[in-house]
């Protein structure tokens, strides 16, 4: 494998978060060769009207048309991956728009993609993610002025908090994950060749939920692997919790139903049960779920 690495980001608004991500990429010990931004119903991004997104790499914005049912996250990942492969990328690093890469995030993913023994393919690598506080609540910078940039890059490791239910490894450590249901899509990488072998994310998933769990099952069915790696920490920027409106509930129920038909078991059960407790969803006589109200 050559060293050509692409960072792939899905965006629908949150341009300040995207700018901070780009600032983190600029500060990395290894910068990407390509940054593909999949703009989901984001006319400003598509038109090139958002500043602060350039770096010493190629930046390419892919327009992803809207879907009345919700954000087409699965289709957007496929569009970004196709464009990256078309432009010559060998390694695809998917980074959520809310995530700022650490100084060695890109370098660590590249190191693991070269490491031996190579894990079973298609092979996914996942780094850890630390959660940042609300930047508006941070104390003033040492000069007494508020930090207008959001988060000081040199303090990310100090400010970020890791979730206790997630794997956290030291730099250079790696751990195979036997349960591919644990795959999460905030920060992960795989080769362009392996991504193509999976067929990508199932585009039938639209809106929140299910598409990443489905992708993990596809990788497992193909005999592939998921490996946690240390040293690739990314930092998730604070934002208010998403409001649980009817469209959000509808997408979870719709996508969970699709998943159950494809794999024979129900994902996101805690979400579904929580919706039921609030009168937003209910079980059907056939054992499925439906939106109520």
All structural domains of the chain, each given as residue ranges with its CATH number in brackets, are: 5-236 (3.90.550.10), 246-291 (no CATH)
For the chain, the average pLDDT equals: 93
pLDDT digits (tens, 9 = 90+) for 175-204: 999 999 999 999 999 999 999 999 999 999
Q: What is the Cα–Cα distance from 192 to 88, expressed in whole angstroms?
A: 9
pLDDT digits (tens, 9 = 90+) for 154-175: 999 999 999 999 999 999 999 9
Greater model confidence, 278 or 141: 278
Please say if the pLDDT value at position 138 is more than 90.
no
Return the half-sphere exposure (C-beta side, CA atoms, 13 A cut-off) of residue 186. Answer: 20
Say which DSSP state 266 is in: -
Q: What is the Cα–Cα distance from 222 to 215, expressed in whole angstroms?
A: 11
pTM over 0.85: yes
């Amino acid at each position: 494998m050559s060293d050509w690495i692409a960072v792939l980001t899905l965006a629908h608004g949150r341009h300040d978060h995207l700018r901070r991500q780009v600032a983190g990429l600029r500060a990395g010990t290894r910068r990407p060769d390509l940054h593909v931004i999949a703009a989901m119903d984001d006319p400003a991004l598509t038109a090139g009207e958002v500043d602060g997104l350039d770096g010493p790499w190629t930046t390419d914005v892919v327009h992803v048309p809207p879907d009345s049912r919700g954000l087409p996250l699965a289709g957007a990942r496929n569009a970004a991956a196709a464009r990256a492969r078309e432009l010559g990328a060998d390694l695809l690093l998917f980074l959520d728009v809310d995530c700022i890469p650490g100084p060695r995030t890109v370098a660590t993913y590249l190191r693991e993609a070269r490491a031996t023994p190579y894990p079973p393919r298609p092979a996914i690598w996942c780094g850890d993610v630390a959660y940042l506080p609300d930047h508006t609540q941070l104390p003033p910078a040492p000069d007494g002025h508020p930090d207008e940039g959001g988060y000081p890059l040199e303090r990310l490791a100090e400010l970020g908090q890791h979730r206790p239910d997630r794997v956290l490894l030291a730099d250079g450590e790696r751990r195979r994950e036997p349960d591919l249901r644990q795959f999460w899509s905030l920060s992960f990488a795989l080769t362009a060749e392996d991504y193509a072998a999976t067929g990508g994310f199932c585009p039938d998933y639209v809106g929140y939920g299910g598409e990443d769990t489905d992708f993990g099952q596809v990788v497992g069915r193909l005999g592939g692997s998921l490996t946690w790696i240390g040293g690739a920490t990314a930092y998730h920027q604070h934002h208010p919790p998403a409001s649980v409106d009817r469209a959000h509930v509808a997408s979870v129920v719709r996508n969970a139903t699709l998943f159950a038909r494809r794999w024979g078991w129900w994902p996101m059960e805690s979400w579904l049960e929580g919706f039921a407790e609030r009168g937003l969803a209910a079980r059907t006589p056939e054992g499925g779920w439906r939106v109520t109200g």
